């Protein structure tokens, strides 16, 4: 399908930077990004169609909060990330440079950005950095893992992680096109790899400071779904898409503060781990959208995970809740890796609770 005549024609229309089958020019001029310079209006949509509001009072307001270059339409086109708010008696509808105004209206239940932003603003002096490793699984449109035999299973796990070759990995076209889309858009994508289960992949975003982690990761997820459309392939963020002896999918969150990144920062890392050890349940509740229910299927203690019921930490140990990377232990500074967040986590909730527990002592 990806090599069909029609598809090639489509990619010509898309022009070079996004095309998975043509290399972009070594440097292409990127139109600048600045949310302040644009007069973005408050907009609204029918929240009853998205289960976010009742039919009788169904307008949900969109408040622009971050801006990206549009890798599909190119030129001066932008993609705008918005927060969602319910009805607001005070909305003037004039909608010019409204960022920061009208925030007394109730957020929707799924708007986790609002409180995250408040926490990040309060913790500004800690200069928190995050890097999230987003794992996901590519599926056929029928929901079957992409490239798997239709009436059975591939050979057992082992040869697939960071693999190369059509018998090892499935869907690299999607991965590459997505990577380019992220780079063009301004998402701080940092790397990608094929995962332990065939058709499972990972991309890393970061390091991002504060609220930018959640913004960039949500935009990266959106871009992945959009790119997948062109290939007829679906990206799933389910933390355990296939039962049995197959790895689940997580969203390891790498985290550091200013104090952890300087000489002997290991002391600050250990202090943070000590605080995290006393709030395990609270963190598990924030690490998937169903307060731990989704992650229960994944955090079994097998397949490079720790048990959902216990907190643990260790150097270079992938069976723990928190891992201190080997290089960090050797250099005595850097960051920690929280391996618990589920692939379908809300990065705003994850980064918020990390900062609340380790910086603000809340
Ligand atoms: P792993 O070895 O667990 O597979 P990856 O290489 O996939 O790790 O991801 C590491 C992540 O850590 C990247 O997203 C990177 O941006 C992030 N990172 C690196 N340094 C820091 C730091 N000081 N603070 C926070 N995140 C960091
Ligand atoms: Mn309409
Ligand atoms: Mn990784
Ligand atoms: Mn991984
Ligand atoms: Mn990791």
ipTM greater than 0.95: yes
Give the domain range for residue 26.
7-109
List pLDDT tens digits, range 210-227: 999 999 999 999 999 999
Q: Which atom of ligand 1 is nearest to the CA of 132?
A: 14
pLDDT score at 88: 57
Please tell me the distance from the alpha carbon of residue 16 to that of residue 181, in angstroms, as a whole number.
11
* Total domains, the chain: 2
| 134 CA → ligand 5 middle, Å | 9
Ligand at minimal distance from the CA of 46 is: 2
Assess whether 66 and 14 both reside in one domain.
yes
Assess whether 246 and 334 both reside in one domain.
yes
114 is a domain residue: no
Assess whether 83 and 146 both reside in one domain.
no
2 is a domain residue: no
Assess whether 177 and 93 both reside in one domain.
no
Please tell me the distance from the alpha carbon of residue 113 to that of residue 118, in angstroms, as a whole number.
9
Assess whether 334 and 207 both reside in one domain.
yes
Please tell me the distance from the alpha carbon of residue 70 to that of residue 92, in angstroms, as a whole number.
29
Assess whether 169 and 238 both reside in one domain.
yes
Assess whether 138 and 96 both reside in one domain.
no
116 is a domain residue: no
| 50 CA → ligand 2 middle, Å | 14
First to last CA, the chain: 52
Please tell me the distance from the alpha carbon of residue 258 to that of residue 271, in angstroms, as a whole number.
14
Assess whether 137 and 251 both reside in one domain.
yes
Spans of the chain below 70 pLDDT: 1-29, 31-32, 36-37, 55-56, 87-104
117 is a domain residue: no
Ligand at minimal distance from the CA of 254 is: 1
Pocket-testing residue among 133, 210, 347, ligand 1, by greatest number of atoms within 8 A of Cβ:
133
CATH (domain of 100): 3.10.20.70
1 is a domain residue: no
pLDDT score at 104: 56
Please tell me the distance from the alpha carbon of residue 209 to that of residue 130, in angstroms, as a whole number.
6
Pocket-testing residue among 126, 130, 131, ligand 1, by greatest number of atoms within 8 A of Cβ:
131
Domain boundary at 85, 109, 133, which?
A: 109
Sign for the CA dihedral angle at 228, 230, 233, 234 comes to positive
Domain boundary at 109, 138, 166, which?
A: 109
CB 68 within 8 A of CB 187: yes
Assess whether 164 and 285 both reside in one domain.
yes
The stretches of 234-325 forming alpha helices (DSSP H) are 258-261, 266-277, 280-286, 293-296
| 39 CA → ligand 1 middle, Å | 35
Assess whether 134 and 179 both reside in one domain.
yes
CATH (domain of 306): 3.30.590.10
Domain boundary at 75, 109, 143, which?
A: 109
Kindly give the interhelix angle for 212-231 and 113-122, rounded to the nearest 10 degrees.
140
The stretches of 189-316 forming alpha helices (DSSP H) are 212-231, 258-261, 266-277, 280-286, 293-296
pTM for the structure as a whole: 0.90
pLDDT score at 249: 97
Assess whether 42 and 128 both reside in one domain.
no
Per DSSP, which regions of the chain are E strands?
A: 43-46, 59-69, 78-85, 129-139, 189-194, 200-209, 234-236, 251-256, 313-315, 322-324, 336-338
Cα 96 to chain centroid, rounded: 29
Running DSSP on this structure, what letter comes out for residue 147? T
115 is a domain residue: no
Q: Which helix (H) or strand (E) segment is 110 a member of?
A: none
Kindly state if the Cβ of 207 falls inside 6 Å of ligand 1.
yes
Assess whether 241 and 317 both reside in one domain.
yes
- Collect all residues with Cβ–Cβ distance below 8 Å to 32 and sequence separation of at least 6: none
């Amino acid at each position: 399908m990806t090599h069909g005549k029609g598809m090639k024609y489509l990619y010509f229309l898309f022009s070079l930077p996004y095309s998975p089958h043509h290399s972009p020019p070594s440097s292409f001029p990127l139109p600048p990004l600045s949310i302040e310079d644009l007069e973005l209006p408050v907009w609204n949509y029918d929240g009853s169609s998205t289960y976010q509001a009742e039919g009788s009072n169904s307008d949900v307001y969109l408040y622009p909060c971050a801006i990206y270059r549009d890798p599909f339409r190119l030129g001066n086109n932008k993609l705008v990330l918005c927060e969602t708010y319910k009805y607001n008696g005070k909305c003037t509808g004039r909608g010019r440079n409204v960022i920061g105004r009208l925030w007394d209206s109730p957020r929707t239940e799924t708007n986790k950005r609002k409180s995250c932003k408040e926490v990040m603003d309060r913790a500004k002096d800690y200069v928190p950095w995050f890097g999230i490793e987003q794992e996901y699984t590519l599926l056929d449109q029928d929901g079957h893992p992409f490239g798997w035999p239709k009436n059975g299973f591939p050979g057992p796990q082992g040869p697939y992680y960071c693999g190369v070759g059509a018998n090892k990995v499935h869907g690299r076209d999607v991965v590459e096109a997505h990577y380019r889309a992220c780079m063009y858009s301004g998402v701080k994508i940092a790397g990608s790899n094929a995962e332990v289960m065939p058709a499972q992949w990972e991309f890393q975003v970061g390091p991002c400071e504060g609220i930018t982690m959640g913004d960039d990761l949500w935009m990266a997820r959106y871009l992945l779904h959009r790119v997948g459309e062109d290939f007829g392939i679906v990206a799933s963020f389910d933390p355990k898409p296939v039962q049995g002896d197959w790895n689940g999918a997580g969203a390891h969150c790498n985290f550091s503060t200013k104090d952890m990144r300087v000489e002997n920062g290991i002391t600050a890392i250990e202090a943070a781990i000590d605080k995290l050890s006393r709030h395990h349940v609270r963190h598990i509740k924030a690490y998937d959208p169903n307060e731990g229910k989704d992650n229960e299927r994944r955090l079994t203690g097998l397949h490079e995970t720790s048990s959902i019921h216990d907190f643990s930490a260790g150097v270079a140990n992938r069976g723990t809740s928190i891992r201190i990377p080997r290089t960090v232990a050797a250099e005595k500074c850097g960051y920690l890796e929280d391996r618990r967040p589920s692939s379908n986590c809300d990065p705003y909730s994850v980064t918020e609770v990390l900062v609340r527990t380790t910086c603000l002592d809340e």
